[in-house]
Structure formats: C-alpha cells, structure tokens
Structure 1
C-alpha cells in the first residue's frame, strides 16, 4: 500500500522565555524565509510577564535593519492547548524546552525540539537571550541560520 509523503509540520510554534525577543524574531524570520508556503507560524513565552506587549524595541530595531517587521506581533504565554494547535514546537533553549514539556498532555506526541538543532554547524545549543546579553545582532545571526535549516527541512 502506498502512503502519501509526509508533508512535514504545517503549524510551527516558536517559544522563548518572555516572547519579546527570540521567539517573535524567529517567527518573523521564518515567515520571511517561507513567505510563499502554506504554514501557520506563531510564537509564545513560557513566562507571563510580557503578555500583550509588542516585541522589545531593540529587537524590533535590529530585525527591521535586516528587513523583518515584528511590530504587529504581541506576546502570549505558552499553554498546554498549544500541543493541540501545532505540529512542531521549537524552543530557544533547554530551560524553555523543559518548561514546555512540563505542560505536555498525556499521550501527546507533538515534537518539541531546540531551534539550534536545525543549525548544527553553528555548534550552539541555545539561542542566547539578547534581553540579557544585549547582542541582538548575534541572536539574529543564529536565528537566521536556524530558520534556514528548518525551512530546508519543510
């Protein structure tokens, strides 16, 4: 019996801590890199501090300098329901991956991966948080590399 090819994930959620730097940037970069594809892209944070806020202004500025407009995005908190809504959940670091997994419903098998898994050539295991490091361009360099790798697998 022939099986149709696996279409890959069609709904992808990017998750960081506050959803004001890394995950909205990943969403914006991925949206730009996959513009013509039929994908649902979103972002969320494991924390609730910034719910409803636009991405952090320095991240917006750095992204805008590269042609990515994050201004319409608003922070929201990751919930267990996201496991029902998305085919792939992408964490920016191990701490956020663990926070996501703590909310996993029983018998749910949605893959949760590190974004850096899609750019092994970088040697990075996490996208450093520019809210704390101040290195928005460095974070965007890594986010672009990871997005290229993920887009190539879709």
Structure 2
C-alpha cells in the first residue's frame, strides 16, 4: 500500500503544529490509515530550534487530552531541508513559517509546501494564529481552525492516494 507523509510546521513546534499532528493522526488512525508500513505517516516540526526536545505546551496537551487524544509524548524539533526528501506534504501554520520553509526547500520540492488553512476554504483566515501568548480560549480557537483544515487535508489525501478507502472519518 502507498505511504503518504505529512509534516505540520509552526514556529516552535510546541503549540500549533503538535496540535495539528495530533488532530490529523487521530483522524487517520480512526480510518485505519496510520501506519509506517502503509497508509499515512505524520510528524511536526518548528522553524526555530528554541524548544527542541521539549514537550508541547501544557495548554495544548490539556486541550487535546480533553478531546480524546494525546500529544504529550511528542517532542519539538526544527524543520530541516532533509524533510523535503521525506515528506509529501509540508503544511505551514502561517506566512512566516512558509517563508522560512521556502528558504530551505530544494527547488524540486517546493511544490510540497502550502499554508495549512489554504486546504480549508470554509475557514476565512489564511494563517493559524499563534495561541502561545494567550489563554485557553486562544488554544481552543486555534484547534478548531486546525481541526477543520486537518479534515480537509485528509480528504484530499484520501481522494488522491486512497480513492478506494472507506471514508468513515469522525
């Protein structure tokens, strides 16, 4: 079976991209497509190295736990040029992240880049706002945007790479 790989990228890899990885992972797992030997492989990274090795923000961990999945074992890492060899889709949370990724992307892999919210036309924002300096309500708003886009990205991947796969996505 085909293996499709998806990388979510924000600035520090402790808020937005870990929540995106978790939401997408939960959706892919629910339909039986979260495997390294087949299906979809998912990861997240940051454009900076400041939080490398750290767990996601406690507010993101608490929110995703309340929603029924865990991101507590994820560890922040910095996005690398080599990620463009590994991943089929690289989704940036905002234009600053996208600009950084464009700067490290080998020319032949630039087509893999996009803003995450560009996949969810029903969302009227281009960028996922960074909730780091706000409270719980910012994380909840951020997650709602991410989750809508995660579903849209999964739908596109299913249509392109797994057209015969059942679509009992939650």
TM-score, length-normalised on structure 1?
Answer: 0.91
SS of 1:10 mapped into structure 2: strand
Q: Is 2:129 aligned against 1:100? A: no
Aligned partner of 1:150 in structure 2 is 153
Aligned residue pairs, count: 147
Question: Residues 99-144 of structure 1, C-alpha deviation per residue, up to 9 Å, x if partnerless?
Answer: 0010012433441011101111110111111102331100111111
CA distance in 2, matches of 1:108, 1:115: 17
Provide structure 2 residue ranges, at least 5 long, that are not aligned to the other structure: 34-38, 158-170
C-alpha change, 1:108 and 1:147, in structure 2 (3 Å) is closer
What are structure 1's unaligned runs of at least 5 residues?
A: 1-6
For residues 64-105 of structure 1, give each alpha carbon's deviation from its aligned partner in whole angstroms, at most 9, with x where no partner exists: 111120011000000100011101100001110000010012
Q: Which moved more, 1:71-80 or 1:127-136?
A: 127-136
Q: 2:23 aligns with which of 20, 24, 29?
A: 29
**C-alpha RMSD of matched pairs (Å):** 1.3
Moved more, 16-25 or 100-109: 100-109
Aligned equivalent of 2:80:
79
> Contact 1:89/1:110 (CA < 8 Å) preserved in 2?
no
Deviation of residue 57 (structure 1)? Answer: 0.3
Q: Is the 8 A contact 1:14 1:26 kept in 2?
A: yes
Question: 1:12 matched to which residue of 2?
Answer: 6
Give distance in 2, aligned partners of 1:122 and 1:146. Answer: 8
Matched, 1:131 2:145: no
